[in-house]
């Protein structure tokens, strides 16, 4: 399957940070889509999320994503966003960088049916084993991908959920192109 034949939807969550009980909650979601190798600038989701347990954002998390409790005032619950999340991901291959967090938060929807995933962290480790860092930001900077990301997400920055979702798609596209695997992308990504 050729890369351009596959529709992708990248998802990213920012979280409250771990509390004393060892759990965290999503406080922002970003979803961006890509078809025929191009980011769809008209179809995206960027939304703050109200923590289910009114958990305050940890200082460590706030230092990373710069989201504060005031920004969450009046935000919808994750469960109320289900129709938008379902519509964005349904029928597309889900993409995330270090997909464990996204899969964990999507467990709130136990029958969601999103079975096809590409983890760009794992893909980058396979295709770029000698990279000095496999973090999303470091990979994008080393591959000179920040300008295309900022073109799609002007005014946003790293650790904004939409910015990171777009970065995952831009990185995925670059990894496939650099590996010369456009014509066998389905096989490389284990998508049938």
**So what's the pLDDT on residue 189?**
82
**So what's the pLDDT on residue 31?**
98
Kind plus residue range of the DSSP H or E element containing 81: none
Kind plus residue range of the DSSP H or E element containing 154: none
Which ranges of the chain have pLDDT less than 50? 192
**So what's the pLDDT on residue 107?**
86
pTM of the model: 0.94
**So what's the pLDDT on residue 192?**
45
Domain ranges of the chain: 3-188
Q: What is the second-level CATH architecture of the domain 3-188? A: 2-Layer Sandwich (3.30)
Torsion of CA 4, 165, 102, 107, to 10 degrees: -70
**So what's the pLDDT on residue 60?**
86
**So what's the pLDDT on residue 76?**
96
């Amino acid at each position: 399957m050729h890369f351009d034949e596959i529709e992708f939807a990248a998802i990213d969550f920012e979280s409250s940070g771990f509390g004393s009980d060892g759990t965290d909650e999503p406080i922002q979601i970003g979803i961006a889509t890509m078809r025929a190798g191009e980011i769809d600038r008209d179809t995206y989701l960027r939304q703050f999320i109200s923590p289910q347990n009114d958990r305050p954002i940890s200082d460590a998390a706030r230092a990373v994503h710069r989201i504060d409790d005031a920004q969450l005032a009046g935000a919808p619950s994750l469960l109320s966003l289900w129709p938008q999340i379902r519509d964005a991901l349904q029928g597309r291959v889900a993409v995330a960088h270090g997909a464990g967090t996204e899969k964990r938060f999507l467990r709130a929807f136990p029958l969601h049916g999103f079975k096809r995933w590409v983890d760009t962290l794992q893909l980058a480790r396979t295709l770029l084993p000698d990279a000095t860092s496999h973090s999303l930001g470091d990979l994008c900077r080393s591959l000179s991908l920040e300008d295309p990301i900022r073109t799609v997400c002007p005014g946003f920055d790293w650790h904004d959920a939409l910015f990171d979702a777009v970065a995952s798609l831009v990185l995925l596209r670059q990894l496939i192109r650099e590996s010369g695997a456009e014509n066998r992308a389905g096989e490389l990504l284990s998508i049938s």
